[in-house]
A = this chain, B = another copy of it.
Amino acid sequence: MKPSHVEHIGIAVKNLDASIRFYEEILGLQCYNIEEVKDQKVRTAFLQVGDTKIELLESTDPDGPIGKFVEKKGEGVHHVAFAVENIKEELAHAKQKGIRLIDHQPRKGAEGLDIAFLHPKSTHGTLIELCEDKTKINSH
Q: Say yes or no: is A65 at the interface (Cβ < 8 Å to chain B).
A: no
Interface SS of chain A: helix, strand, loop or mixed? mixed
Instruction: Name the interface residues of A24-59: CB closer than 8 Å to any CB of B.
Output: 25-29, 49-52
Set of chain B residues within 8 Å of A13, measured between Cβ atoms: 124-125
Q: Nearest chain-B residue to A52 (Cβ)? A: B6
Q: Nearest chain-B residue to A76 (Cβ)? A: B125
A83 to B29, CA, bound (A): 13
- Copies of this chain, whole number: 2
The contact size tier of chain A is 35 or more
Contacts beyond the supplied A5-B52, A9-B77, A77-B80: 18 A-B pairs with Cβ under 8 Å: A3-B28, A3-B49, A6-B49, A13-B124, A13-B125, A14-B124, A14-B125, A15-B124, A18-B124, A26-B118, A26-B123, A27-B82, A50-B51, A50-B83, A51-B52, A73-B73, A76-B77, A76-B120
Q: A: which residues have CB within 8 A of B?
A: 1-6, 9, 11-15, 18-19, 22, 25-29, 49-52, 73-77, 80, 82-83, 93-94, 97, 99, 118, 120, 122-128
Task: Enumerate 27 A-B pairs (CB-CB under 8 Å) in ascending A order.
Answer: A1-B26, A2-B28, A2-B29, A3-B27, A3-B29, A4-B49, A4-B50, A5-B49, A5-B50, A5-B51, A6-B50, A12-B125, A13-B124, A13-B125, A14-B125, A22-B124, A26-B93, A26-B94, A26-B99, A27-B128, A51-B51, A52-B52, A75-B120, A75-B126, A76-B120, A77-B80, A77-B126
